[in-house]
Chain A
Amino acid sequence: MAPSVDYYCPCLAASPHPPPPHLPSSSDSFHPLHNLFFCEECDAVRCNRCVMVEVSGYYCPNCLFEVPSASVRAEKNRWDSAQVDITFEKPTGLAAQLQKFEDSAPEALEFDRLKEHFEPFLRASSSSSAVTPSSSHHHSNPITAAASSALARDIPGVSKYNPLSRSRSGRDKSSHKADIPDYKARMEVGAAAGMGAGGGEADLEFMRHLETVAEVATVEQRWVNSWVSSLHTDDLKPLRIPLQSKKSKRCPSCRHILIKPEQKAQSVRYKIKLVAANYLPAISVSLPHARAALEMMKRSLNRSATQSEDQSPTAAALLAGKTYSFHISFTNPLYDPIQVRLKKAQAMPAPGTEGAGEKAKRPPFQVNLPSAAFPIAAFAEAWEYEDDEDMFGLDDDDDLDGLGRLQKDQRSKTRTVGVVEKRANVTVVAGEVILTKESRGNVKFNMLVSYTYRSDDPDPAEENAMGTPSRHASSKPPEMKNFSFYTVVDLGTIAPREETIHDSDIWPTLDEAGIMATPEQPESRPQAGPLPSKRGEIGFVEGVDVSTQQEQVGEGSGTAETSSPLPERHPADTPVPTTTPQEPNPPTTPTPTTNAPPADSPSTANPPNTSAPLNPSGTTGRKLSSFLGCKRIPLFWGMRVTTLSLFAFQIAVLGATIGGWIVLI
C-alpha cells in the first residue's frame, strides 16, 4: 500500500533493461535494497536469486553445537535432541547411535538388497553391451543398453513374432527369467499390509470406522517415509531435527565472496559483508498529499484511531484524472558526494513483437522527474557534523534550489518538479505524476538512477580485506565514475473513478479541517507521531534529526523527509490547471506558497528548540513564515548558548570542587 522503491537485478532477464513493471513477472526482478548485494569486482548488483550459496557451517538449532561437515554427511544433515521410546547406550553421540537404527531401517535394507540384485546384472551386461548392436536412440542410457543386451538374445524370438502362436509369450518370459532372476523382496508389500500398513485391509477398516480426523497422521508427517507406514497418529516416531546452516554467498560471475558470516553459531556478525546499501543511494518515495491527508484525518477525527485507519487509505489514494506530486529522497552512503541523475525508463520494446502494441495502448499516467543532475552530500558520521556545515549545506541548498524554484516562479507554480530539500547526506526531489482519467491499477514505473562518484580506484585485494572499502575516502587523485541502476517506483493503487462520490464525502471534511488548518497548522506539527530516530548509520546532526521529528510521520524511517512546513507543499495546494472544482484546501493561497519556501528552507537547519516557540506562533498562519524567520537566529544561537552555558557551568562546578578540595587540603 505504501509507496515503495525496489531495485532491479538483471539476473533473470537476458537484457539489461528491466521488464515493464505492469507484468506480474517483473516483481521477481526487483528487490528491496536491503536484500541486495554489490560485487565490487563486477561493479554490479547481485540478488538472492543469482548469488551462489555455500554452506559455511552447520549447527544444531537446539543446542547451537557446530557440527563438523564430515559428520553432517554421515548423519544426514540431522542432529537429534529428542528421543522417545528409543534407548541409548551412552548419552553422547546420539546421532551415531540413531544412525544404526536408520541403517537397519527396512527401507535401507531393502534398498541394499535391490542394489545387490541389480549389480551383477549390470556388471555382466556392461561388458557385453559393447558387442551388442544397440538401438539407435537408446544407446546412451546404460540401463537400457544393459537391457538391450539381454533383449538381443530375445530378438530372434521377436522377429519370428507370429500372432497365432500365443504360447510364445510364455516362453519368452521364461527365457527372460534366465537373464534376470525375479527379485525376491525382503518384505513384500502384501506381508507389510498384513502388519497394518500400506493401505491393506486393516487400513481400510481403520479408515471406515474413523472417529476423529486427528487419529490419522497428516500427509506431511508421513510423506518422507518411503517405506509403508501406519496411518495412525499414535504410531508416529520422533524425527531427528534437521540441522541449520550458515551460508556465505558469492558473486555468480567472479566468485568473490559477497557475504560471509562468522563461523560461530552464536555470532550474528559477518566477516565480509558487501551489501548494496553501502554502495547505492537508498531511495524512498512518499506522497505528500497522502501524509497531509492522513494528518488531517487524524486531527479531525479526534484520535479515533480505528476510524482514521479505515479512512486513511481512501484519502491517501490516487484518484484518476488528477496530478500528484511525490517526493523521492536519496540518502548517500558513500563518503564522497555524488551527483544523481534520474530518468524514467523508456518502455523498452520487448523482444516479443506484441510488446510494442501493448505498450501503445497503455499510457495510463505520465511521470515527470527532475531532469537535471542534483548533488547529494557525502555521508558523515554524526559527530562530524557541525552547525557551520549545516549552514553551508543550507546555502548550497538555496543555490541549487534556485533553479527549481525559479522554474516554479516563472511558470506560475505549475511545476513542482525539482529539488525540494537538501540536508546532510539526504536530498529530496519532487516529481509529479499525471493520471489520465482512464488510468487503473498501480502507478508503477521504472526509473533509471545514475550517479557519478569519485572513485578511489582501489586495490582490490586491499578492498576485500577492509570490508566496506568504498567508504574510506582516499587521498588519491579523484576519478569520477558512473554507475546506474534501475528501480521500480510504486506509488500505490489508483482509486477507480467511481469513488469520486466517496471522495467528495471525504474532501469536505478535509475542507473544514483545511479552513482551520491554516491557523492550527503549527499545532498539528507537534502532534505528529514520533519519527523513529534510528538513523545512526546515516548519521544525522542532532538538530536536523529533531527538526525532522517535528514533521509529520514520514514513511520509511531511514529516509529523511522534507522539513519544510507541509501544507504549503501540499500538491493539492498548487493550483494545477486541470484541477476539478472539488480540489481541496482553498485556504492556502498562492501567496504563502511562493513565500513559504525561501522562508522554509532556512528552517531546515532549525535546532530542536524551534518546536517550543512554534506552538504559540500558531495564531496566524500568515505570520508564520516571518515569525519563523525572525525567531530562527536567536533560537539557533539559543541552542548553542544553552549547551555552552551548561558546559561552562559544569566546568565551573568542576573548578569549584577542585578549588574546594585545594582549600580544604
Chain B
Amino acid sequence: MSTVTATPRRAGHDSSNMATTTPQTTRVATSHIIQSSPHYQTTRRHSLYGTEDRVVIDPGSRIWKVGFSGEGKPRDVLTAGDNGSSLWTLNRASKPAEREEEDKMLEARLQSRLRAVFHDSLMTDPKSRKVILVEHPLMPLHIKDIVARILFDNLQVPSISFASSHLLALLAAGRITGLVLDCGHLESTVLPIFSSRPLFPQLRTTPLAGMRLSSHIRALLLLFGTYIPPLTSLSGAANIPAATRSMRVPDEVLAGPVIEEIKTRCCFVGETLDLADSGATRVTSPSGDDSFEHDLPPSSDPASMSESDFSRVSASEMDSNYAASSGFSVVSRSQVHPDGPRPGETHLQALAEMYKRHSTATDLHMHIDPPRDQQAGTGKGTLIIPGWIRERGAEVLFEGGDVDESSMAEVILDSLLKVPVDLRKTLASTILVVGGTPMLPGFIPRLQAELVRAINSSAPTSTRPPSRPGRPRPAPYDRYAPLRPLLPYFAILNNPSPPPPTSASFVTNAGKAPAFTPATMAWVGGSLAGALKTGGVEVARERWDEADAQPEDEDDAMEGTADTAPSSRNVLPDWTRTPLPVGAPPAPRPQAAPIIVTPQTEVGA
C-alpha cells in the first residue's frame, strides 16, 4: 500500500519542485524590486506615527489571533478559553433566565479577553484604533453582538469592520474565487466564494472538527492508552518493572490541555485507509465499498451508531465504570475490560484492530502530571500513546456516511453540489483549506485523496442481477455523480504535496497558494484587507451610539424586555439579515390549485 501511494507522491514532489523553478527566479526579481523601491518601507514608516494601521482580531472559540493590519503575521496568539475549553459553544440554554446568566458570563469573559488584547498583547490605545473583526459566517449573532458592544462601549473603538473569515483567507491565498473549508474547533464550514462574493446560501457545515477530534482521541486513549504512574518512592524504583505498574489511563489524567498537547504535538494524518489497496486512482472497484463496510459498520445500519457516537458513549461509560475497574491495575496491552466488552467497546476494538494494521507510526511516551489525588508519587507519570492513535485518530474527520455529520470531503462535495453548475469547475479547482485542525501534518493531502475517494465510492458498486426479472433495476442512488466529470480538476490550493497534474493541457492550482499556514490565513487576509484600505462593512461608533440611544425610548414604551440588545443588532451587518432576493413568485396556494388546473390544461393543450 505504501509503495502504491508513495510513487505518485514522489512524482508530485518532483513536479512541485519543477513548478517552483519559475517562481524561484521571479522571487529573486521581486525581492530586488521590494528592496530597491522604498515604497512599502516608507508607507509603513509613515503609518508608525499615525494610527491608520487597524487592529485585526480573529476571535475563534478557542484561539484568538490579534495584530495590526499591514503586517505579515499576528502579534499575538492566545487561548481564549480557560484551560483548553472553548470560550463559547454552539448551544445555548433554553430558559431565558439561564440564557441571560450564560450571556453575562460570556460577556465578562469576552470583556476580559478583549481588554487583554488591547492592553496586554497590542499595548495600544483602543480609542484611536479601528478594528477589523474577522468573523466566521456562522458565528452566533448574540456573540457578535456582545463583542461589538464591548468594543464600542467598554473599549470605545472608533469603528469595527466585519469581514468574512473565508473571504479573507481566500485573499491571503491571492484569489477572490474559491471554495474555502474552514476546519475550526467547534465545526467545519465550507463556503463557496465567487469573485469575492460569498455564496452564503451554499454554505455547508459539519460538527466534525477540532473538538470532535479531541474527544475521539481521548476516548481512544482511555481504552487503548497505557499509563504508568510515578513511583511512590525512589527507593523501590529498581525493583518494580514498569510493565507491572502500567495501568489503564485514568480519566482525570487526560485533562483538556493534555489532550490538546497530544493533538498538536503527536498526531498526524496518515494516508488513505484503503483496504482494497486499489489506491486513490481507483475509479470503480466492485468490491471497494463492500470491503470498506466490512471493517467499518455502516452508520445506516440501524443497530449501530456512527463510530464517533460510540467513542463518545464509551468515553462516558468509562467515567462510570472506571471506579469499578480501578482495582485492576495491571492491564495487558489489549486492555480488555474485565467485565466483558460493551457494545461500544467491541466496535472500538474492531476499529483499533483495523487501524493498527494500517499504521506504522511509533508509540510515544509522554510525561504528564499525575492526577491530583495521586500526587503522592515522585515526579511525573508516563502516558504511552500507541502509534496508531497518533496516525489514525484523525480518521474520525474523514469518515463519512452520516447524513448529519458529513466528513471533510463530503461537506466540500455537498457544497459543490449546491453551487451553480457553471461555477463548479472553477470552485473545485480552487479549494482552500484553512483553520486550526488542518495544521495536522498530512491533513490536506489526505483530504485531496478523500475527495477523490468519496466521488468514486458513491459510484454504483456492482451490477447485481435485477431483483425482478423483466424489470430493470432502478439506478442506485449516486450522490456525487454530477461531480464525477470534475474529478481531474479537483485541486486544493494550499496542498503541501500536490498530486501530479493528470493532463498536460490542464494547469492545476494545487499547491500554488503562498505558504501561509492554514491557521493564520484568515488573519493574514484581514491584515491584507486592512493594508488595502478595504475589508468588510464598517460600523462607526457614532452609528452604534445612535442606534443604542434611540431604541431605549422605544423600549420604555414597549416596557418589554429591557435589554438594548435587539436594538443594537440592526446596526451590525450580517449576511443572515440581508433581505431575500425577489425570486420566482411564490407557488400557488393549495386551495387555489383546483381552480387553476383547468386553464393550465387548456394552455397545455
A interface residues with partner B (beta carbon < 8 Å): 11-12, 14, 19, 23-25, 28, 49-50, 52-55, 58, 70, 72-74, 76-77, 103-115, 117-119, 122, 136-138, 140-144, 146-148, 150-151, 154, 158, 161, 163, 166, 168-170, 172-173, 176, 180, 182-194, 197-201, 203-204, 206-213, 216-220, 223-229, 231, 243, 245, 247, 252, 350-355, 358
Contacts and interface: CB of A to CB of B under 8 A. Distances in A.
Of the candidates B101, B444, B516, the one having the most CB atoms from chain A within 10 angstroms of its own CB is B516
A225 B266 contact: no
Contacts of A227: 72-73, 515-517
Interface in B415-442: 420-426, 438-442
A218 B264 contact: yes
B108 A191 contact: no
Contacts of B360: 208
Of the candidates A183, A218, A243, the one having the most CB atoms from chain B within 10 angstroms of its own CB is A183
Contacts of B443: 199
B536 A141 contact: yes
Contacts of B73: 107, 224-227
Given A189-B496, A192-B515, A228-B517, A14 B562 contact: yes
Nearest to A23: B101
B421 A169 contact: yes
B535 interface: yes
Interface string B1-44: 00000000100010011011001101100110011000011000
Nearest to A78: B75
B45 A25 contact: no
Interface in B543-582: 561-564, 573, 578-579
Given A140-B537, A203-B442, A118 B127 contact: no
Interface in B502-552: 510-517, 519-521, 523-524, 527-529, 531-538
Contact of A50 (B19, B154, B171, B266): B154
Of the candidates B63, B391, B421, B424, the one having the most CB atoms from chain A within 10 angstroms of its own CB is B421
List 4 tightest A-B contacts by C-beta distance, closest first: A183-B174, A190-B511, A193-B496, A147-B196
A74 B538 CA distance: 27
Given A185-B512, A189-B494, A223 B77 contact: yes
B75 A185 contact: no
A226 B75 CA distance: 10
A154 B197 CA distance: 13
B96 A185 contact: no
A185 B496 contact: no
A553 B23 CA distance: 76
Contact of A28 (B108, B493, B537): B108
Given A140-B573, A142-B535, A189-B495, A176 B105 contact: no
Interface stretch (B116-124, B309-317, B348-356): B116-124
B535 A143 contact: yes
Contacts of B167: 143
Interface stretch (B247-255, B286-294, B361-369): B361-369
22 contacts: A12-B108, A23-B101, A73-B48, A115-B528, A166-B421, A169-B421, A169-B425, A173-B425, A183-B173, A184-B174, A185-B515, A188-B23, A192-B496, A199-B439, A204-B268, A206-B441, A208-B360, A217-B265, A218-B265, A226-B521, A354-B95, A354-B97
Given A14-B562, A212-B365, A219-B264, A77 B123 contact: yes
Contact of B71 (A111, A193, A243): A111
B108 A25 contact: yes
B457 interface: no
How extensive is the interface on chain B, given as a class?
35 or more
B72 A188 contact: no
A12 to B, nearest CB: 7
Given A103-B41, A147-B176, A185-B515, A190 B266 contact: no
B579 A118 contact: no
B555 to A, nearest CB: 11
A112 B123 contact: no
Given A70-B48, A169-B425, A189 B511 contact: yes
B362 A209 contact: yes
A122 B532 contact: yes
A207 B195 contact: no
Nearest to B99: A352
Nearest to A142: B534
A228 B532 contact: no
B49 interface: yes
Nearest to B524: A226
Contacts of B461: none
A168 B422 contact: yes
Contacts of B564: 14
A168 B16 CA distance: 30
A148 to B, nearest CB: 7
B278 interface: no
A191 B264 CA distance: 23
Contact of A186 (B30, B101, B498): B30
B76 interface: yes
A58 B122 CA distance: 12
B125 A109 contact: no
Contacts of A74: 45, 48
Contacts of B48: 70, 73-74
Contacts of B424: 169
A12 B104 contact: yes
Given A143-B167, A226-B524, A113 B30 contact: yes
Given A151-B197, A180-B176, A219-B265, A243 B72 contact: no
Nearest to A200: B496
Contacts of B74: 224, 226
B479 interface: no
B232 interface: no
B216 interface: no
A70 B390 contact: no
Contacts of B562: 14, 351
A76 B75 contact: yes
Contacts of B205: none
A355 B100 CA distance: 11
Interface string B82-123: 000000000000011100110011011001100100110011
Contacts of B425: 169-170, 173
B215 interface: no
B307 to A, nearest CB: 23
Given A114-B171, A226-B523, A352-B97, A186 B26 contact: yes
A166 B424 CA distance: 10
Nearest to B539: A140
